[in-house]
Structure 1
Amino acid sequence: MTTFLDALGGKLAERWLTLLLGPSVLLMSVTVAGVTLGHQHWHDTGLLLTRLDLLSAQPALRSTGTLVLVLAGLLAASAGLGLAVTALGAAVERLWLATRPRRLTARRRRRWDAAQERFDHALVEAARAERTPEAEAAAARARELNARRNRISLVQPTHPFWLGDRIDAVDTRVWEAYRLDLTSAWPRLWLTLPEDVRAEIGTARSRLAAATRLVAWALGYLAVGAVWWPSVVVGVVTAATAWWRARAAAVAFAELAESAVDLHGRGLAESLGISCAGRLTEDVGAEITTLLRKRT
């Protein structure tokens, strides 16, 4: 037990240093440099070194007790900043997954409806061109328009942001394919999944959370840009990286969740005592939904 607790404490300390302390110290260092240099002397490293030399020459900093207090204060500030960034990252995630503002949702829906209409027209044209010299070009055009529509959303948008629709599309696609209410079924399905599958899904979910935290760090660098403009560049690059990572993580998480239903939905049915001889069907999915909703 002692060995286990030591190992656990080491892992927690390592995780804390990686997720909170390191980025916090970096942001605080940039803040100190920005406040010291300002816009006018943004590249004057000599001025920064001079200020550091003057600070290190202070008699109070030669005391061991003072140094310990300063170090403790820095650690506390780093931890506090890290926790604040974690909370802000969770708020960013809720914003991306929210269903408001509805004006943005309506705008995305109009774009999607127009793309769907063009795709439907292309399908008609492809059907008319079947067994003609224009058949291949018409089919390629339909595939291109289908891809354009899917870049907006896989299903009709119900969220103002792409990421929210990509996650929500799993519920819609599972319902349309199996008549299975994934909101009700997911906790039960999760308990039936193999450990390696749950680990893969959990990793994808953790990457999405990490991307939202990165957005929060980007906001910190943008705030420092008010006194030192190079920090704005760092903030913009960090925000762009976070958005790209969030999209990749959302796709991975959504694909894995949908795949879990496709591959292990039958096991869920059997665990609930519902007969499912072959693949998961709409009838079986509807029976699972009725059972799990418990008349609600």
Structure 2
Amino acid sequence: MTKFLEGLGSKLAERWLALLLVPSLLLMTAAAAGVTLGHRRWHDIDALLDRLDRLAAEPTLRTAGTLIFVVAGLAAVSAGLGLAATALGTAIEQVWLATRPRWLAARRRRRWNAADARFTQALLAAARAEDTPDAKAAADRARALNARRNRIGLVPPVHPFWLGDRIAAVDTRVWETYRLDLATAWPRLWLLQPEDARGELTAARTGLAAATRLLAWAVGYLVIGTVWWPAALIGAVTAATAWRRARIAGAAFAELAESVVDLYGKRLAQELGVPCETRLTRSVGAEITTLLRKQS
């Protein structure tokens, strides 16, 4: 038990150092530089070094008690900033996955409908052009329009943001294909997965949380940018990086979650005693859904 607690303490310390302490110290450093330099002297390194020298020369900062107090204060502030960034990242994720504002979701739905109509027309044109010299060009156009529609959403959008629709599309696609209620079946599917498959899912989910937390740090730099414009540039670059990472992690998580149903749906049916000889079908999925919902 002692070794376990020591290992747990070291892991928590490493996690706090990586996720909270270092980003917090960087943000506090940028804030101190911004307050000292301002917009007009944004590049005056000499003024910043002079300020540091004057602080170091203060007699009160040379006592052990003061140093301990300063270090403890910095640690407390960094922990508070880290917790605030985590909370803000969670809020950002909830906004991305929400179904409101509805007007924005309706706008994405109209874009998807228009792209779907163009793809349908191109698909019909490709069918008419079959066995003609224009067949390849028509097929390529249909594929390009299909990819353009899928970039908006794999299913008709109901969320204002792409990430919410990409993750929600898993439920829709699983239901339409297998008539399986994924929300009800997921805990059972999770128990059937091997450890490496769970690790892949966990890594993708952790990556999404890390991306939203990075965006929260970007907000901090944008706030500092009101008094020191280089911080706003850092915040903008950080926000763009976080947005890109969130899309990649969200798409990976959704793809892996859907793959779990494709790979372990048959085993779920067998474990529940539902006949499934070849592969998961709509009738089998409907029976599993009824069973797991405890419906008569």
Give the TM-score, by structure 2 length. Answer: 0.99
Whole-angstrom distance in 1 between the partners of 2:159 and 2:117: 20
CA displacement 1:136-171 (0-9 Å, x = unmatched): 111111000000000100000000000000000101
Q: What is the aligned partner in structure 1 of residue 71 from structure 2? A: 71
Give the deviation of 1:291 after TM superposition. 1.1
SS in 2 for 1:284: helix
AA of the residue aligned to 2:126: A
Give the deviation of 1:295 after TM superposition. 3.3
Whole-angstrom distance in 2 between the partners of 1:188 and 1:157: 28
Bigger mean CA deviation after superposition, 7-16 or 103-112: 7-16
Q: Structure 1, unaligned stretches of length 5 or more?
A: none
Give the deviation of 1:30 after TM superposition. 0.3
Give the deviation of 1:294 after TM superposition. 2.2
AA of the residue aligned to 2:100: R
Whole-angstrom distance in 2 between the partners of 1:277 and 1:102: 43
Whole-angstrom distance in 1 between the partners of 2:80 and 2:140: 54
AA of the residue aligned to 2:230: P
Whole-angstrom distance in 1 between the partners of 2:31 and 2:269: 56
Whole-angstrom distance in 2 between the partners of 1:174 and 1:224: 45
Q: How many residues align?
A: 296
CA displacement 1:206-235 (0-9 Å, x = unmatched): 000000000100000000001000000000
AA of the residue aligned to 2:38: G
1:116-265 map, 5 Å? 116-265=116-265
Give the deviation of 1:183 after TM superposition. 1.1
Whole-angstrom distance in 2 between the partners of 1:113 and 1:187: 34
Instruction: Please tell me the root mean square deviation across aligned C-alpha atoms, in Å.
Output: 0.9
Give the deviation of 1:7 after TM superposition. 1.6
Q: What is the aligned partner in structure 2 of residue 284 from structure 1? A: 284
Q: Are 1:266 and 2:266 an aligned pair?
A: yes
AA of the residue aligned to 2:61: L
Whole-angstrom distance in 1 between the partners of 2:271 and 2:84: 42
Q: Structure 2, unaligned stretches of length 5 or more?
A: none
Question: Segments of 4+ in structure 1 off by > 4 A?
Answer: none
Whole-angstrom distance in 1 between the partners of 2:123 and 2:56: 73
Give the TM-score, by structure 1 length. Answer: 0.99
